[in-house]
Amino acid sequence: MSLPSVLIVGCGDVGGRLARQLLASGWAVSGLRRNTGALPEGVTGIKADLEQGQCPADWPVVAPDYLVYSVAASQHDEPGYRSAYVEGLRNVLGWLAERGQKPRRLLFVSSSSVFAQQGGEWIDETAETAPREYSGRVMLEAERLALQSGVPASVVRLTGIYGPGREWLLSQVRQGYRVTEEPPLYGNRIHAEDAAGLLAFLLQADRDGRALENCYIGVDDAPAPLAEVVAWLREYMGVTEWSEEQRVRRTGSKRCSNARARALGWTPAFASYREGYAAILEGRG
């Protein structure tokens, strides 16, 4: 039996972690990005600019079994988001069509920004999507493009990715970061390794013949008020000073459920922010 193959479009932080996990499981992995020199060892590089309509010269001759679209916008405004998530995906789908290729499944890496709930309510994949910001609106448009592509597809809405190299909150806490305590502002997180692990789990589940839903939320087991997270980090890191700046206020508050992914058999390695941040601070992850 031939090795299962996957093409990861946007093989950056999460995509690179996914590549390493799949390589360790015996998959053949190709990665598409502008700088192929930054790909993990063992990944077959495809150099391409998603903003260009021309199919890359080194596009795979044989269709990959799976396609994972996991890009990050390089320009954080509406045109930048549209270029990365909508037009980039449209180009990749066009390249597949040019070659007469149809992967077994497409995983589109999306974001919880498609949700606009802000009352601390619990939400799952069936919750209303009515984003107020351009980021959520563009991401929702890209999701629809993936789901209507003619390729069996699932969108994976990742929430609050953190990990080595994604340590903004740790930096802020060290500087005495102040947050609103009442009403509680719930946040949702997933360690970058778990984000990649969920994608790998879904790919393997599909390969094993298990039916996948068209949407999954990627989040750990314990959404928590931001004030609670900050307090725990302050104690763990021994921070005693508070910033003299005005108390920070943040919009948006919801609690995302991972019940659907868990029902399929996925379990996060870092169940909550405690395990995940402790691993980072101890140099384990």
pLDDT tens digits for range 199-246: 999 999 999 999 999 999 999 999 999 999 999 999 999 999 888 765
Q: CA-to-CA distance for 175 and 276, rounded, in angstroms?
A: 20
CATH architecture of residue range(s) 5-281: 3-Layer(aba) Sandwich (3.40)
Which residue reads 């390969």 in tokens?
Answer: 207
CA 138 to mean position of chain CA atoms:
15
pLDDT of residue 32: 96
Q: Looking at residue 118, what is its pLDDT?
A: 84
Which residues are bridge partners to 9 per DSSP? 32, 69
Q: What is the pLDDT of residue 250?
A: 60
Amino acid at the residue 110: S
Cα angle vertex 64, ends 59, 65, to 5°?
170
pLDDT in tens, 166-198: 888 999 999 998 888 888 899 999 999 999 999
* pLDDT given at position 1: 55
pLDDT of residue 51: 84
CA distance from start to end of the chain? 34
If residue 278 lies in a helix (H) or strand (E), which one and from where to where?
helix 273-281
